[in-house]
Structure 1
Amino acid sequence: MSTPVLNASRRAVEQSGDSPTPPRHHAARAPIRFVAVLALSLIAIAVTATLGLMLGSHQVPAQVVWEAVTNYDAGNNQHLIVIQSRLPRTIVGLIAGGSLALSGAIMQSLTRNPLADPGILGVNAGASAAVVIAIAYLGVSTINGYIWFAFIGAAGASVLVYALGNAQRGAGGPARIALAGSAVTIAISAVTNMVLISNELTFSKFRYWTVGSLQGRDLDVSTTVLPFVLAGAVLALCLAPSLNALSLGEETARSLGSRTRSVRALAAVCVVLTAGAATAAVGPIGFAGLAAPHVVRKLVGPNHTYLLPASMCVGAAFLLLADVLGRIVVAPGEIQTGIAAAALGGPIFILLVRSRSFGAL
């Protein structure tokens, strides 16, 4: 397509007020800001991961943590705590935080909705309900079994929210989709609670899982969900140029040669894979998928080539920070990670709703 046509398309979208294209000087600095965000995120991950290995009901000195990682001694109780309990927990937190942030960034781009998030739009609730039903009535007891139910539940909830939010022609605005997501989340959560309350054994076993927690996760959880997360992440990165075109608007994306239906379908697969795997691993944790993409978008802009990988790093750091704070606030006890993440992400949600630019991305 010729340059004049491209310029005309961009001008038309910008005049309509729907373009997320940043000023040229902001776009020129995007690679530099992207590197800076990655560096800061990796530093935050290193710090929070170290604290996560040190803190808990039994505190372990930093030197002992280093010795456990570099020269593990199975006969040392502190080494056992670090390697067998806290290290798997940290790895699961990294995977889940990055997955939720990636799915949130994709959902926000697809719906052009600043409130899009696996927790708010019912994806986590659907995955959680399907897992609880599988555990309670089908006898599924391992993550290798119920991860498939998490995918089914996540996909079903996504379709239901999209159908309700677009029930009337032209009605699928950000507020309507968010309301549909909230309604679906409440309804599905009611079903989940009903199953848990009516099944004492299931409730006793998974009462912490239903609010989102990293506690008690072992390496089997990470090895089970990681292939699905990697598949979703690779597919999402490959779709980054198409998502950039789609963010200019449906008609403009088509004029640029993008197959919008295929892009949306593949992006939805990414959301199901990443959000479903994260929920199967740690339960329904909200706000990680909402907060991280917004922070990154403010810093590096809407270019998905930078937005998606940076969101994963920030999301991983966010969830590890929530987990560490949950252990510090009520030490030697701990607050479940899902509750701590809500405490951190809630203020961002409030600021977002009150923002004048709330309407659409």
Structure 2
Amino acid sequence: MPPTRPAPAAAAAVVALAALVALCAVSLATGSRDIALDAVWHAIQHPDDGSRDAIIVWQLRAPRTLLAVAVGVLLAVAGVVMQAMTRNPLAEPGLLGVNAGASLAVVLSVAVFGVGSAAGYAWPAFAGAAIAAVVVVLVGMRAGPRADPTRLLLAGTALTASLASVTGVVTLSDPRTFGDYRSWVVGSVASRDPADLVWLLPLTVVVVVGALLLVRPLAVLALGDDTATALGSSVGRVRLAGFALVTLACGAATAVAGPISFVGLVVPHAVR
């Protein structure tokens, strides 16, 4: 028998995984002080030897790298689910208003409560993102339980513009708030609290598993609402579960790293 060749999707997955491992190695090895790859491997194997390389790798670069991977996975999954639900290849998670909600929450936490660290922004940002997404979904479901995609996108765009206006007023009226907000809004995993990994990594696993469970329902939904209903699919429940997953994923990513644009839009197209 001729040897079987792996499916293109499996081969692409292997290549992507290898590229991810290579990028993680580069992230651990490069910085203000470069470390040789063999020294990085030694530091990974001996985290408690007290060497400078081990301290740099385990206390600074490894948490940053894991945060970046988790945030990338969350945004990519959110983008795939968002495009599948709305049947719009240009849809991205920010259209739900999560970035605008998180930004306003961070600005208010600085202006009202005096929060001044990147670690302190996480929970206000997550709460703001979740509240904004819930408002958008509720507005989108006013016409019926199916949560019409067009109405959702319009509601998200309107809410984003409104929240951005309020954010602009607050930041322009307080120079300190503007300075702190400017450092957060660029989107970065540097100087973030490594303790965020305790909840972010399990949440990433939950989001990925949830997305896998929605693969078949979303594939049916791609045929159109009427056809999906005729095939026995509960369109409203599927769409609501999808938006809950997008809110959870994008809200967590924005809370940890700030608003990072285009990942949720570009990655699904790159994978295809």
What residue in structure 2 maps to residue 279 of structure 1? 254
Equivalence map 1:130-169=2 (5 Å) = 130-138=105-113, 147-158=122-133
Displacement of 1:56 in angstroms is 1.6
Displacement of 1:194 in angstroms is 3.6
**Is residue 105–residue 127 contact of structure 2 (8 Å, CA) maintained in 1?**
yes
Equivalence map 1:86-235=2 (5 Å) = 86-138=61-113, 147-158=122-133, 181=156, 184-235=159-210
Q: How many residues align?
A: 265
TM-score by structure 2 length?
0.82
The answer on 1:79 being equivalent to 2:51 is: no
**Is residue 82–residue 91 contact of structure 2 (8 Å, CA) maintained in 1?**
yes
Equivalence map 1:296-311=2 (5 Å) = 296-297=271-272
Give the secondary structure class of the aligned counterpart of 2:7.
helix
| Percent identity for Structure 1 against Structure 2 | 43
Does the C-alpha gap of structure 1 residues 277 and 176 become closer, same or farther in structure 2, counting only changes over 3 Å? same
**Is residue 104–residue 163 contact of structure 2 (8 Å, CA) maintained in 1?**
yes
* One-letter identity of the residue aligned with 1:78: D
Displacement of 1:211 in angstroms is 1.3
Counterpart-to-counterpart distance in 2, 1:32 and 1:127: 41
Does the C-alpha gap of structure 1 residues 289 and 73 become closer, same or farther in structure 2, counting only changes over 3 Å? same
Counterpart-to-counterpart distance in 1, 2:121 and 2:199: 11
**Is residue 89–residue 218 contact of structure 1 (8 Å, CA) maintained in 2?**
no
**Is residue 151–residue 272 contact of structure 1 (8 Å, CA) maintained in 2?**
no
The answer on 1:44 being equivalent to 2:19 is: yes
Structure 1: which 5+ residue stretches go unaligned? 1-30, 298-361
What residue in structure 2 maps to residue 27 of structure 1? none
Give the secondary structure class of the aligned counterpart of 1:189.
helix
Counterpart-to-counterpart distance in 2, 1:168 and 1:288: 31
Q: CA RMSD in A?
A: 3.2
What residue in structure 1 maps to residue 3 of structure 2? none
TM-score by structure 1 length?
0.64
**Is residue 233–residue 270 contact of structure 1 (8 Å, CA) maintained in 2?**
no
**Is residue 117–residue 287 contact of structure 1 (8 Å, CA) maintained in 2?**
yes
Does the C-alpha gap of structure 1 residues 120 and 263 become closer, same or farther in structure 2, counting only changes over 3 Å? closer
Counterpart-to-counterpart distance in 2, 1:196 and 1:76: 43
Structure 2: which 5+ residue stretches go unaligned? 1-5
Displacement of 1:199 in angstroms is 4.1
Counterpart-to-counterpart distance in 2, 1:91 and 1:159: 29
Residue of structure 1 aligned with 2:217, choices 236, 239, 242: 242
Equivalence map 1:14-93=2 (5 Å) = 32-73=7-48, 75-93=50-68
Displacement of 1:143 in angstroms is 8.1
